[in-house]
Structure 1
Amino acid sequence: MSTDIPDESFTQEPFTEEDGVLYEEEVAPQHGVLGFTVRELLIVAAWLVVFVTSFFPIGWSPALWTQGIAWILPLGVPTVAVFLIVLRRFSPEGIRRVGSLGIDQFASVAFSVAAVWWIQQLWQYVAAMAQTGTSLNVWVPWVQVVVLLMLVVLTVCAPIIPGLRDDFRGRLVTLAHRNANPVRPVVARPQPERVVAAPAAADEALAAIEDEFVDDTTHDAEQPGFGESMPLTGHASGGALGTAPELDEDYVPGYVRSSRGGDETDEALGQPFWVLAPTERDVFDEAGEALFRVGPEAWVLVIEDRGGAYLVRHDDGRVGYLHDIADITRG
């Protein structure tokens, strides 16, 4: 005796609405009256009660139809839901959704909103009656609330009520509407890495200045007393290359003296030079963010004088703007 095993890959494969071959479960044929199920007929009958009673005065105000557009939520939207339920039986291939909601889902929302609207009206009436002590002959809102709660049961609670849940069994399995699918996870936007590259011209100028400074320092070191009168201090990077002497007010580095030729010229002033800040100061990039700091413990190379700000270069290659150039000692 052989047992047929269903193909699991077939049941896990997604099906579109046009396939028309996959059902939730095997159930007996569904019987009804005039082409409608009992649940659908109850929905239409309840809606007729809501529609007819809407022409009667509410009690503390005229009929619902005379209150501007107040009829849209308590009557207009439920009427659209009932119309779609009826249309679905006459035209199965017609309107199947309202937005991302199926027709039964839309009807559940419509009847729930209408019931809440009428409950709010009754709440206001009871509160006013408690404050004033007056009572009116009010029956329309109570009928509307009771009937709409019945419609909520026939739609929202129907899938769990015996006898009514048969309307939702054995239905054709379809893909959910795109707007009803699970949302995608949200991740933080990656921050771009900030890379500040030193211009090639600045690297070449720095190399030339360093070579000239080393040669000039070697020449000055043959002079007597050099080691005692002018001790060396570290550059911004802390390395031996590019170190500059701690100077008194009358001292000018040799590499600058050799470039001036006795008198300062426009050409000499346009070349890179060293500066020493008397206090700690920030160097900023073009976006205004601090890159590094300069201070009195080390000299820093100025690539270009921008008129009110210096374009300075750190020994690690970073280039930024020194805006606070007050009391700067310039080599």
Structure 2
Amino acid sequence: MKTLKGPAIFLAQFIRPDAPFNHLDTLAEWASSCGFKGIQVPTIDASIFPLDKAASDPTWCRELKEKLADKNIQITELSTHLQGQLMAVHPAYLPLYSQFAPEAYRKNAQSLHDWAHEQMLMTAEASANLGLKACASFSGSLAWPFIYPWPQRPKGLVEEAFAQLAERWKPILNAFDQADTDICFELHPGEDLHDGASFEYFLDLVDNHPRCHILYDPSHFVLQQLDYLGFIDRYHQRIKAFHVKDAELNCNERSGVYGGYQDWIDRPGRFRSLGDGQIDFNGIFSKLAQYDFDGWAVLEWECCLKDSIVGAKEGARFIQEHIIPVTERSFDDFADSGVSKQQLSLLLGSKNQERL
């Protein structure tokens, strides 16, 4: 059995212009001071993480790892959520998503994809140079505007969307295979890969690719009313990354899972700081221990009520308290009868007892 690693923190929600949140070195120092041992690093902002440098310079990567180790911090995964989003952009979202890319690439969806494709290839190289085994990402979305089947979806629409999605991702998955790194798709509303069924559909189209895996985030499953504990039972072999994020769903007579276009604070379903929501983390950490998940438990802080710094410090303690140091021996070893292999037949009432 394996003990999962942590606590770690996803830095995306904490990057801002003022110190210590404007530089990777000082972010790492702050994370360490909060009690974290690892950081999941976004790759979209070159001032925080120069992806091109990491992809092309193994020496720079080695020195970065040493520098972070001096602060008792290591990189858990690189995040390509925003680049992954741009791998597949429906035209309805083009004005919004295009802002994630440099201005020169914002002219159309194909241009955004081309940029994202190169970013993903660089991330594979950077992950290899850093010795990372997983990368966190989104899948992008072509079919999401048609998530609810009204008006009736034309036959073949979903099939064509997923065929195109798989075609775009296969070369990236192959590059990550060369880098010995898994791509872990965060199953997230807004993405074509948002639940178990959509992930299975995609996995089949990429021929069960050995690098196609899941970033498990139970908060998104609570808001979809999906069995997040049963999900681990079914998909544990494909879960290679873990966001520890809490959520609650309090439907009422006025609105439910769709939220009525309300702001986060007024929605029935909303994300919460760890321990403030409805998620059974005792159950989650127990199942991950049961299935030998040995990745990182990474806090993703998103809460419309609590201060982020408070949420981070509380989150580090929360994760540490929930990590199960797995046992190296069975609790009933003291009662081992010491029966030899030859005596097993005797216990089973074998006809050959006389030979014992």
TM bucket (normalised to shorter chain) is under 0.3
Larger radius of gyration: 1
Structure having the larger proportion of residues in helix: 2
TM-score by length of 1: 0.21
RCO higher in structure (CA 8 A, sep ≥6): 2
TM-score by length of 2: 0.20
